[in-house]
Structure 1
Amino acid sequence: MAWFDAGKPIRVEGGLKARTQRGTIGSTWWSRRFIDILERICDKGRLSRGRAYARQGQVLSIDLSPGEVRAAVQGSRRTPYRIVIRIEAYDEARWTTIEESIAAQAVYRAKLLAGEMPTEIEELFAALGIDLFPRDLDMDCSCPDWGFPCKHLSAVLYLLAESFDDDPFLVLAWRGRTREQLLGSLADDAPVDTLQVADVPFADRLADFYAPGATAHRPERRATTAAPDLLLRVFPPPGDLTRTLTPAYRGLADA
């Protein structure tokens, strides 16, 4: 063990703590896809120590923005280590192409409008010659560990994967498209609140996503409810029938 690993990390009160306290982190296909990439390219020993850091609550903060994740992790030194993880964020022209490809597939479009992540979306990205999940990660940590990644980076990566479980649209937001932007485009500029998919800031989601003293039991996942008039938005009827049918669809849902 290197000299800078000798001390135990300073305990944190109220840090971000992984909900999964035993076994594998990540329960959905998209979070597991991200974890599989990490475990293939990263040092397994440091990934293991990173899981321990994530479960102990050593990560102080995580902020996700297009192409970048910034975080702070408390190690054995008084000053927390600063983390930066970068991937390519796609520009507006590329996202226009992606959205057109999604819109051309009615099933993909319907699932995304209902708040689901279709398993085929990774293949859709690949067909366009781009990646949904990063193959390489440009990562930096202010600690003196030369390993790739260090345990501080590993802790952040695991918590990031677990946050993908709860909100798959964070994967797309990292690539440069927020939930609101994507669904607004797919719904032909329909108000996002009509589709019942509110865009909550990442920092606000973290406030109740990770809780100090979390147990090994994962909270029940709530079923996603599609908007009553979702079918009309995916397959618009001719003429003015949309205006006539929308109240009827909503009335059936209330009944």
Structure 2
Amino acid sequence: MNDFHDSEDDAYTCRDARTFEALPPARGRSFAATWWGQAWLKALEDTALDTQQLKLGRRHARAGAVGAVSVRPGRITAVVQDRDHTAHRSDVLVQELGAADWDRLLDMVADRAGHIAALLDRDMPPQLVEDAAAAGVELLPGIGDLEPSCDCEAWDHCAHTAALCYQLARLLDQDPFVLLLLRGRGEEELLGELQERSAARAQAYVADPDEAPEGSDASLAENGVVAAEAFAAQEGLAQLPAPPPRVDGPCAVPALGGGAPPAPGIDVPALEFLIADTAERAGRQLAEALSGRHADTPPTAGPTVSEDAVRLASAGPPTAVAARLATGSGRDAKGLAAAVRAWRQGGPAGLAVLEEEWTPGAEELARATTRLATAWPDAADRPRMRVTRNRWTVVGTGAQLRLGRDGRWWPYCKEQGQWLPSGPADEDPATALASLLGAVKGADTE
């Protein structure tokens, strides 16, 4: 890789720079929803030495204190305002990829149509980053890759450069080409080079079948007829059908019975419910199969029997069906209701936080303790908590924070003697707890 660009006189064309208007305040939401946006923030949080500055930076970014963000190869720039409206020019420098790195990366992407399709769909599949790393190219920044520079003259990440990084995570969520521009290639230039390389490879394969990748049409020409040529030569040969159209939603569930009594053992409401659920899942799977990201998206593990019972119950089945789901999953009605509430807040992860109690390791506990200590800038505002394994209970209230295995904080409240989820998870414990403390005033306490 090349050195950091630290000169104000670097000459970039307009094509090599993009300016994004200031984003609105981000109160009550995470800065990064995509995995690559989260990787960007992890590089920041693992590098910065002063967690208090990170906390202030998050506050600046949430409040909308970051102005228009300029992105160009090797540098992002913005003006960030303090609470007293003092403006600071802040920059974060990122290493660009060298020419050899770009050659390896572009060759790899050009050989995989799925990667190109994903980028055009503003997606960055994990396989693309893994394949790039296998080729010796690190796309995502790591520890020490984000170099701060601010006119407040801080020697490490200050609140202003931290705020700029948090704001950029939101831009990365919207468009991964922003990261590639930082690494040295704008979208137009990158796609143009990919198109040229793809066309050159296709021409080379036709001209010299011996050089074609094993299994390609050209490599099979000596032992058979290339499929494309066979189709071109046979007029009237049946063509492949067009892909099925996208389905926006499942069709209406047919009414069963037709006036005739059901056969013994047939639960008509339960059967209609299962038909509706099957139609909904089939429609979702079809939409995923038609997505441009499908080829590069690894299959996810299916739910367990217990999880699937909760998923079905969260759809609001008839009462009798809900009772059968509770029994089949080993829960009573009260337990199933709590599980459904957790599922609606966070799916399998939310359900695990409800039903699992685990002990954080030394590193996880230290990280959680630091997050809690820095979440409230004023120590007087920090609530007093009692910790039991992965659960922090606010003393004297019916409020609790639970630490998930992914490092996020889940708010819980005590209702009629039972701890229940009360909202979605958040990486910031203060944000997760803020709305909860107001809601539990006067509620159950321990």
* Same fold (TM > 0.5): yes
In 2, Cα distance between equivalents of 1:113 and 1:78: 39
Go from structure 1 to structure 2 and tell me whether the alpha carbon gap of 1:143 and 1:94 turns closer, same or farther (over 3 Å shift).
same
Other-structure match for 1:132: 139
Tell me the secondary structure at the aligned position of residue 92 of structure 2: strand
Runs of 4+ in 1 over 6 A off after TM superposition: 251-254
Other-structure match for 2:33: 27
In 1, Cα distance between equivalents of 2:84 and 2:122: 42
Structure 2 residue identity aligned to 1:95: W
Any idea what the Cα deviations from partners look like across 1:23-81, whole Å, max 9, x if unmatched? 53200111011112212222322111111101112112210001111111122566521
Other-structure match for 1:163: 171
Other-structure match for 1:83: 90
Higher relative contact order (CA 8 A, sep 6+): 1
CA contact under 8 A between 1:17 and 1:58: conserved in structure 2?
A: no
In 2, Cα distance between equivalents of 1:188 and 1:253: 31
In 1, Cα distance between equivalents of 2:76 and 2:85: 22
Go from structure 1 to structure 2 and tell me whether the alpha carbon gap of 1:58 and 1:115 turns closer, same or farther (over 3 Å shift).
closer
Other-structure match for 1:212: none
2:43 paired residue among 37, 42, 50: 37
| 1:119 maps onto 2:130 in alignment | no
Go from structure 1 to structure 2 and tell me whether the alpha carbon gap of 1:141 and 1:77 turns closer, same or farther (over 3 Å shift).
farther
CA contact under 8 A between 2:23 and 2:64: conserved in structure 1?
A: yes
Structure 1 unaligned spans of 5+ = 1-14, 191-236, 242-247
How many Å apart are 1:181 and its aligned residue?
2.1
In 1, Cα distance between equivalents of 2:24 and 2:160: 14
Other-structure match for 1:108: 115
Other-structure match for 1:185: 193
CA contact under 8 A between 1:17 and 1:56: conserved in structure 2?
A: no
How many Å apart are 1:253 and its aligned residue?
9.8
Q: How does 1:214-229 map to 2 (within 5 A)?
A: none
In 2, Cα distance between equivalents of 1:18 and 1:80: 18
Tell me the secondary structure at the aligned position of residue 37 of structure 1: helix
Other-structure match for 1:74: 81
Identity score, percent: 31
In 2, Cα distance between equivalents of 1:41 and 1:133: 14
Other-structure match for 2:220: none
In 1, Cα distance between equivalents of 2:58 and 2:107: 39
| 1:94 maps onto 2:123 in alignment | no
Between the two proteins, the alignment pairs up a number of residues equal to: 189
In 1, Cα distance between equivalents of 2:141 and 2:182: 10
1:175 paired residue among 164, 169, 183: 183
In 2, Cα distance between equivalents of 1:19 and 1:159: 10
Structure 1 residue identity aligned to 2:138: D
What is the TM-score normalised by the length of structure 1? 0.63
Other-structure match for 2:159: 151
CA contact under 8 A between 2:75 and 2:182: conserved in structure 1?
A: yes
Tell me the secondary structure at the aligned position of residue 33 of structure 2: coil
How many Å apart are 1:139 and its aligned residue?
1.1
In 2, Cα distance between equivalents of 1:128 and 1:38: 25
Structure 1 residue identity aligned to 2:36: W
In 2, Cα distance between equivalents of 1:152 and 1:179: 28
In 2, Cα distance between equivalents of 1:72 and 1:80: 6
CA contact under 8 A between 1:85 and 1:140: conserved in structure 2?
A: yes
In 2, Cα distance between equivalents of 1:119 and 1:131: 12
CA contact under 8 A between 1:17 and 1:55: conserved in structure 2?
A: no
CA contact under 8 A between 1:50 and 1:155: conserved in structure 2?
A: yes
Go from structure 1 to structure 2 and tell me whether the alpha carbon gap of 1:101 and 1:189 turns closer, same or farther (over 3 Å shift).
closer
What is the TM-score normalised by the length of structure 2? 0.38
In 1, Cα distance between equivalents of 2:68 and 2:243: 44
Higher Cα radius of gyration: 2
In 2, Cα distance between equivalents of 1:252 and 1:128: 34
Structure 2 unaligned spans of 5+ = 1-20, 199-226, 233-238, 246-446
Any idea what the Cα deviations from partners look like across 1:105-133, whole Å, max 9, x if unmatched? 33323323444222112212221223212
In 1, Cα distance between equivalents of 2:58 and 2:24: 8
In 2, Cα distance between equivalents of 1:253 and 1:88: 44
